[in-house]
Amino acid sequence: MADALHRLGLGTSPLGNLYAEVTDREARAVLDAAWESGVRIFDTAPHYGLGLAERRLGAALKDRPRDEFVLSTKVGRLLVPDPSGEGRLDDDGFAVPARWRREWDFSADGVRRSLESSLERLGLDRVDVVYLHDPDDHWEQAFGEALPALAELREQGVVGAIGAGMNQWQMLARFARESSVDVILLAGRYTLLEQPALAELLPLCASRGVDVLAAGLFNSGLLARQDVPDDATYDYRTAPVDVVGRARRIAAVCARHGTTLPAAALWFPFGHPAVTGALIGARTEAELRANVDAFAAPPPPGLWADLRDEGLLDAGTPTP
């Protein structure tokens, strides 16, 4: 299990107080439990809690052997002091004081400033991977300015690898096809529920040697429980009735094979050779350990065959 867990990483947006407050003690318990369980990939971003996730992650890792973990952060949103935010909470989904504001900036200077600030918050001397974060509306500047700046930092040995992280696959395919990215972070678009990235993006990455890190494996909550609730979330909104029904049908097949919906969701993306790792998020130590336990052993092969037979997976979809 330890070798498999080295392919499973921890995303830290919940530890930046996404939607609800997490105490420093609770966040540290999650990070320590992840390390103790064998997780060695950690992903963060300035966006997550206006720097809170980076600070918490850096504090938990500063005394760990630096060569034993892979750390990624992101650029594209600069954090700028905002005195007018005193006394109110961030309005972008994180339960933190709005003492800073985000400014989109994919310029070369913005990249360097963002990375320098991230290293300061992390309290570490380097990161291993830097992603362009959500450049959906900023293609020209991200491709023309930010990527060359990241490539220069890679050549200088300041960072080990560069890439882009998004909730869509189409622009990621452009990055994979037209640039020298090493890795992409694909959130929610290659999961047990849906695989729109399968036809074009993943084969492209495989052919060009671009690693894929899959995230959003539970589709923002829908696949996180064997018993799918009526008010489950999908893409950060209440899931439509038909989508809940599909998730429940998948869960029923999982139960017949002695496994669970979360376990199948965690293992599914590793069926594709382009996928080299996956990220999970956890708000509590109990959530973290439950996910690690769910990843303890792959589901039986018969599960995937039955999902295909019931029309819940396309015939050509690769599985573990």
Which residues participate in catalysis according to the annotation? Answer: 48
Q: How far apart are alpha carbons 168 and 142 in whole angstroms? A: 16
Q: How far apart are alpha carbons 139 and 172 in whole angstroms? A: 11
Q: Could you tell me how far CA 226 lies from the centroid of its own chain?
A: 21
Shortest CA distance to 307 belongs to which of 270, 274, 268, 262?
268
Q: How far apart are alpha carbons 300 and 316 in whole angstroms? A: 18
Helix and strand numbers (H, E) in the chain are 12, 12
Q: How far apart are alpha carbons 196 and 171 in whole angstroms? A: 13
9-29 burial, b at 16+ Cβ within 10 Å, e below that, comes to bbbbbbbbbbeeebeeebbbb
Shortest CA distance to 289 belongs to which of 35, 7, 24?
35
* DSSP three-state, residue 77: strand
Q: What tokens appear for 229 in the block?
A: 């609730």
At residue 156, what are phi and psi to the nearest 5 degrees? Answer: -80, -5
At residue 29, what are phi and psi to the nearest 5 degrees? Answer: -65, -40
Q: Could you tell me how far CA 8 lies from the centroid of its own chain?
A: 10
* DSSP three-state, residue 158: coil
Q: How far apart are alpha carbons 258 and 226 in whole angstroms? A: 12
Q: What tokens appear for 195 in the block?
A: 């695989």
Please count the other Cβ atoms lying within 10 Å of the Cβ belonging to residue 62.
Answer: 11
